[in-house]
């Protein structure tokens, strides 16, 4: 059996953070710079890194392309996301060194748009990442960096792709 363990770095204001259940008010900030953390992952044998711009996820604009370039230069394959809203965002992240671009909110709100991107860029260059919470007898899909909740049916969405 072969599989990849993909460590993650969540960024907020350029710092490595972790949010408790997507709550921006419940943030833990880590002292090490993102590139230091990425280097440690690479030295530990990681082949991939999941890089998320939490500000971008909430506000709609991935702002860490310089860091993405630096991380990719380490030899890590990077799947990057947060704030990917249109095709030019996908192009920009791929050009900056992402191996795969992660989309979330737009995949919930505009599944046909993402299906078109998959057809254009190839399935190997896009990842759909959805956080799902079971509440009130249904799956709820948080979006916009967990600040909104979509009333989407997870099974119908999965069938779309």
Return phi, psi of residue 110, to 5°: -135, 70
Q: Which of 23, 116, 131, 153 is the catalytic position?
A: 131
Q: Which of 10, 53, 55, 89 is the catalytic position?
A: 10
Q: How far is residue 7's CA from residue 75's CA, in Å, rounded to a whole number?
A: 14
Is 59 catalytic? The answer is: no
Is 10 catalytic? The answer is: yes
Q: Which residues are catalytic?
A: 10, 131
């Amino acid at each position: 059996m072969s599989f990849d363990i993909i460590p993650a770095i969540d960024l907020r204001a350029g710092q490595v953070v972790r949010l408790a259940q997507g709550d921006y008010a419940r943030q833990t900030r880590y002292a090490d710079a993102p590139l230091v953390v990425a280097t440690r992952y690479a030295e530990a044998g990681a082949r991939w890194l999941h890089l998320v711009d939490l500000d971008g996820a909430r506000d709609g604009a991935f702002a860490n392309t310089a860091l993405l370039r630096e991380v990719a230069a380490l030899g890590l394959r990077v799947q990057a996301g947060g704030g990917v809203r249109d095709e030019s965002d996908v192009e920009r992240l791929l050009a900056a060194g992402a191996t795969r671009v992660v989309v979330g909110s737009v995949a919930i709100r505009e599944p046909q748009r993402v299906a078109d991107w998959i057809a254009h860029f190839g399935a190997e260059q896009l990842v759909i990442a959805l956080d799902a919470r079971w509440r009130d007898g249904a799956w709820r899909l948080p979006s916009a960096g967990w600040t909104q909740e979509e009333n989407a049916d997870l099974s119908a969405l999965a069938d779309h792709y």
